[in-house]
Amino acid sequence: MSLELWLTFAFACVIFSIAPGAGMVITVSNSISGGLKTAVKNILGLQLALLTHILIVSAGLGALLATSALAFTILKYIGAAYLLYLGFSKFFSKVGAVTQEDALISQTSNKNLIWKGFVVNMMNPKSIVFLAAFLPQFLNPALDLVFQYIALGSTVLIIDLAVMCSYALLASLLKPYLVKSSFVTLQNKVFGSLFIAMGVFLARAEQSTR
Distance CA 168, CA 33 (A): 11
Cβ partners under 8 Å of residue 83, min gap 6: 22, 120, 195, 196, 198, 199, 202
The pTM of this model reads 0.72
Residue 47: strand, helix, or coil: helix
Whole-number pLDDT of residue 63:
62
**Residue ranges per structural domain of the chain:** 22-209
pLDDT of residue 194: 82
The secondary structure of 83-135 as a DSSP string is HHHHHHHHHTPPP--HHHHHHHHHTS-HHHHHHHHHHHHHT-HHHHHHHHHHG
pLDDT score for 33: 81
Distance (Å, rounded) from C-alpha 208 to C-alpha 34?
Answer: 38
pLDDT at 81: 84
Give the pLDDT score at 99: 44
Q: What is the pLDDT of residue 98?
A: 45
Question: In a structure prediction context, what are the per-residue pLDDT tens digits for the chain, which is 210 residues long?
Answer: 678 888 888 988 888 888 777 888 889 888 888 888 889 999 999 999 999 999 988 887 656 656 677 777 776 788 788 778 878 887 887 655 444 445 445 556 678 889 989 998 888 777 777 787 777 777 777 788 888 889 999 999 999 999 999 999 998 888 877 666 667 677 778 878 887 887 787 677 665 443
